[in-house]
Amino acid sequence: MKKIILFYGRGGANFFVHFYRVCAYLGAAIGQLRYMHFYRRQIIEQMYRIGIGSLSLIAGLSLFTGLATTLQTAYQIAAYVPKYIVGSIVFQSEMLELGPTLMALVLSGRVGAGIASEIGTMKVSEQVDALTSMGVDPVGYLVMPRILAGVTMFPIIIIFAVVVAVGGGHWAATTTMGVSSADFVRGMKEVFRAKDVWVGLIKATVYGGIITLIGSYLGMETEQGAKGVGMAATATVVWSSSFILIMDYVLTRTLLKFY
């Protein structure tokens, strides 16, 4: 019993230590925002890598998500409700849930693990120490541009993902299920509320922050050479995915209720 209490107690204490340090990194990165002009090249480079660099992957995955969602919806409601409802359900589920959350889970691998392994490699090969020794703050040079790029580019990526997914859903509905284009669009229009777009964008912003912050933190804390870099990348995907799903519940509950 004592061993079990110790095990969970130590795990809980570790969690709070990491949580505190992640918050400290976030605070330091926010503090570095005043030097944005100094790090503008890094910010633009990260926006390009995280934003533009993710578009082809997101386009392919969103297309198939839209196709599958449409087929699944049509199958579930076929006997009970009019077909134009397919457009309503596909649009709302893509905008509120599948677009931001599913794509964020995918990006936790592409973006988060990429950040952790890149910064982790720099850490174990003394490049982070080299930055410090040259009078450049590693948080300003490495962490802040990535977090800023994450929170600004993720909403754009998610809007792109939703457009592609709904386009794919429209194609599937009109070509394979006998739903007319007018009916699909009518279904979308009936449920469209600006609030839903805002909820999707707020989720995307938060997820962008979570993924880039966790990737940067675990990268900066990397030790033990190549093994440590691998562990940081893996931990980034696990931590980011977990926090995305937890925040999905928190944000859905909060935003749909109060916003």
Partner 1 sequence: MIEFKDVYKSFDDKHVLRGINLTVNEGELISILGPSGCGKSVTLKHIIGILQPDRGEVWVDGQFVPKLSRNGLQELRKRVGVLFQSAALFDSMSVKENVAFMLRMHTRMLETEIDKRVAECLAQVELRGVEELNPDELSGGMRKRVGLARAIAMKPNYILYDEPTTGLDPKTAIIIGDLIVRLQRQLNITSIVVTHDVKLATDISDRIALFHDGKVAAIGAPAEISQDGGQLIRQFMEGQL
Residues that bind partner 1 (CB under 8 A): 38, 121-122, 125-127, 129-130, 132-137
Closer CB to partner 1, residue 87 or residue 145? 145
Closer CB to partner 1, residue 167 or residue 225? 225
Q: What one-letter code names the amino acid at 201?
A: L
Closer CB to partner 1, residue 24 or residue 130? 130
Give the integer Cα–Cα distance in Å for 133 and 244.
36
Closer CB to partner 1, residue 35 or residue 198? 35
- How near is the Cβ of 203 to partner 1 at its closest, in Å? 31
- How near is the Cβ of 223 to partner 1 at its closest, in Å? 12
Closer CB to partner 1, residue 67 or residue 149? 149
Could you tell me if 38 and 144 are in contact, meaning their C-beta atoms sit under 8 angstroms apart?
no
- How near is the Cβ of 211 to partner 1 at its closest, in Å? 21
Left if phi > 0, otherwise alpha if psi is -120 to 50, otherwise beta: which for 179? beta
Contact residues for 105 (Cβ-Cβ < 8 A; gap 6+): 241, 244
- How near is the Cβ of 110 to partner 1 at its closest, in Å? 18
Say which DSSP state 92 is in: H
Residue that is written with structure tokens 């703050």 in the block: 137
For 196, the token pair is: 């839903």
Closer CB to partner 1, residue 90 or residue 128? 128
Query: C-alpha 110: how far from its chain's center?
Result: 10
Kindly tell me the burial class for residue 182, based on how many C-beta atoms sit within 10 Å of its own C-beta (0-12, 13-18, 19 or more).
exposed
Contact residues for 83 (Cβ-Cβ < 8 A; gap 6+): 74, 173, 177, 178, 179, 183
- How near is the Cβ of 132 to partner 1 at its closest, in Å? 5
Residue that is written with structure tokens 């995915």 in the block: 241
- How near is the Cβ of 130 to partner 1 at its closest, in Å? 4
